[in-house]
């Protein structure tokens, strides 16, 4: 999950050198990002070890979404209304995409994808009158050959006679055009055809966003490339703004399906059909920030000091990364509200009071104002020093009395000493004694270095050891001192 490094810090105190051992827990880089609790970002970005970066601004399916194909991990409609009827060789690319982790690859010829709707879809046969709708996708053509089809929908309606219905998006003269045939019926339920064309020639091997959208209230039918209107028409007799508008209608005389990429060579990404007059999302990254939060990291000892956060990052343009921490001696759940988050600057030494055992880090990534650039975070190094337990007392000695023992030990020379505990028992290394007037083993004697244990049984051999503990919120206790044995006696022998 993560790697620990030991770092030596040399601090000069009163002209004598003290060595402080600092440790570092590394996330990211060659260690990977397995220690993340939650992530509203993506792992990818620059070549080499995986970087954290903002997630691509892919669409999410909502109530208006008819079809949504991300082409990342498979060909699946995220809206759940369409399924694959036929796939004649469409594959996915993980190396070429405009958004997300992949795109669909079309190799010309008979390569195409056929998606059929369920009965709840707006473009299912017999669904009747349509309201607003939008069709959009990212396109990266390789050839721009005449007649390459990007999208085709066929249906039929019976209005006195059977009329064929079609939505076609195809390439002609290196331009993209849309033809909507008999989709909009006249007030007399007669046929109509509306054609929209791009005003500029497309360039092969470049990504562009294409969208056609319809506003039922105004009759506006609009074709946009990269969010810029290329052609506008109104669904009226003159094609202009009129009070009498043609209405979109899906007939029941023919099973309907969408054919995608017939004969097309190139890549298609993020194809969406919506029952709404949509606004295109053209930014590479969302304009909202993204967060990555670590699991709870156990620093091993209470009151360990979080020194600093070492980072490997790249912030292009006006991108930025904010860092937050929270730390406590008490374990808390990763999604708990308390303790609260504290913002801090990476690479800077934190105040001495930044202590605890359980630590969590949050990184907040911000895009620039264009939505084109994302910060890249390669690795985090959490540098800290453990609050180690004190050493045990040295030179312990004792003297027997009648029903008592006097124990003495040399004080531990540590400014953080909180006191000592006295352990006793009737067998070596087994300190479960219960005879003493001061209570069962161990006895907390406070910060002194001599103590008389009363209430012991004369003639019984007792074994003793002493530990020290510090002033941490949850004190650290040392290991045992050397063990001594003493037998109380009513006859005090002079030695």
| CATH 3.30.70.20 given to domain 394-486 | no
Same fold, 65-274 and 394-486: no
Q: What is the pLDDT of residues 148-204, one digit of tens each?
A: 999 999 999 988 889 999 999 999 999 999 999 999 988 887 889 999 999 888 899
Give me the pLDDT at residue 20, please: 56
245-271 pLDDT, tens digit each: 999 999 998 988 999 999 999 999 999
**What is the full DSSP assignment across 126-179?**
T-EE---EEEEEEEEESS--TT-EEEEEEEEEEESEEEEEEEEEEEETTEEEEE
The pLDDT score that the predictor gives to residue 331 is 96
Q: Looking at the domain that runs over 65-274, which CATH code has it been given?
A: 2.60.120.200
Q: Return the domain boundaries, the chain.
A: 3-55+286-385, 65-274, 394-486
With a cut of 70, which residues of the chain have pLDDT below it? 1-20, 45-49, 492-495
**Class at the top of the CATH hierarchy for domain 3-55+286-385:** mainly beta
Question: Whole-prediction pTM value?
Answer: 0.73
Closest CA to 75 of 35, 116, 45, 104: 104
* Pairing verdict, β 133-141 and 342-344: unpaired
Average pLDDT, rounded, for the chain: 91
Q: How do residues 87-141 score in pLDDT, each as one tens digit?
A: 999 999 988 998 988 999 999 988 999 999 999 999 999 999 999 999 999 999 9
Residue 455: which H helix or E strand, with range? none
Distances (CA, A) of 372 to 53, 202, 288: 12, 22, 13
């Amino acid at each position: 999950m993560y790697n620990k490094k030991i770092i030596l810090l040399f601090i000069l105190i009163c002209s004598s050198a003290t060595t402080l051992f600092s440790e570092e827990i590394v996330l990211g880089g060659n260690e990977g990002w397995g220690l993340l609790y939650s992530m509203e970002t993506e792992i990818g970005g620059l070549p080499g070890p995986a970087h954290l970066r903002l997630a691509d601004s892919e669409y999410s399916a909502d109530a208006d979404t008819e079809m949504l194909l991300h082409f990342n991990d498979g060909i699946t409609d995220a809206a759940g209304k369409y399924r694959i009827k036929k796939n004649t060789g469409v594959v996915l690319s993980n190396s070429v995409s405009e958004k997300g982790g992949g795109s669909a690859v079309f190799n010309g010829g008979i390569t195409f994808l056929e998606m059929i709707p369920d009965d709840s879809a707006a473009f299912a046969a017999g669904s009747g009158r349509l309201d607003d709708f939008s069709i959009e996708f990212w396109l990266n053509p390789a050839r721009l050959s005449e007649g390459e089809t990007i999208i085709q929908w066929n249906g039929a309606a019976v209005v006195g006679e059977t009329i064929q219905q079609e939505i076609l998006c195809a390439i002609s003269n290196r331009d993209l055009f849309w033809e909507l045939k008999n989709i909009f019926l006249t007030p007399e339920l007669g046929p109509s055809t509306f054609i929209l064309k791009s005003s500029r020639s497309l360039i092969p091997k470049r990504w562009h966003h294409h969208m056609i959208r319809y506003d039922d209230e105004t009759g506006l039918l609009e074709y946009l490339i990269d969010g810029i209107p290329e052609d506008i028409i109104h669904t009226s007799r003159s094609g202009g703004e009129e009070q009498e508008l043609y209405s979109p209608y899906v007939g029941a005389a023919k099973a309907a399906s969408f054919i995608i990429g017939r004969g097309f060579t190139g890549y298609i990404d993020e194809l969406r059909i919506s029952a709404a007059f949509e606004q295109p999302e053209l930014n590479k990254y969302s304009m909202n920030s993204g967060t990555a939060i670590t699991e709870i990291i156990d620093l091993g000892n209470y009151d360990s000091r979080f020194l600093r956060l070492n980072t490997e990052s790249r912030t292009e343009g006006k991108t930025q990364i904010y860092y937050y921490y929270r730390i406590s001696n008490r374990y808390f759940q990763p999604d708990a509200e308390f303790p609260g988050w504290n913002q801090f600057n990476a690479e800077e030494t934190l105040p001495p009071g930044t202590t605890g055992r359980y630590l969590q880090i949050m990184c907040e990534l911000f895009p620039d104002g264009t939505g084109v650039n994302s910060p890249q975070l390669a690795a985090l190094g959490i540098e800290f020093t453990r609050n180690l337990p004190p050493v045990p007392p040295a030179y312990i000695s004792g003297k027997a009395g009648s029903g008592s023992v006097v124990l003495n030990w040399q004080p531990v020379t540590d400014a953080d000493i909180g006191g000592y505990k006295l352990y006793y028992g009737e067998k070596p290394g087994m300190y479960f004694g219960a005879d003493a007037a001061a209570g069962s083993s161990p006895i907390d004697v406070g910060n002194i270095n001599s103590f008389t244990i009363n209430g012991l049984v004369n003639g019984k051999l007792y074994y003793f050891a002493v530990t020290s503990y510090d002033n941490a919120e949850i004190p650290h206790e040392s290991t045992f001192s050397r063990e001594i044995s003493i037998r109380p006696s009513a006859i005090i022998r002079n030695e």
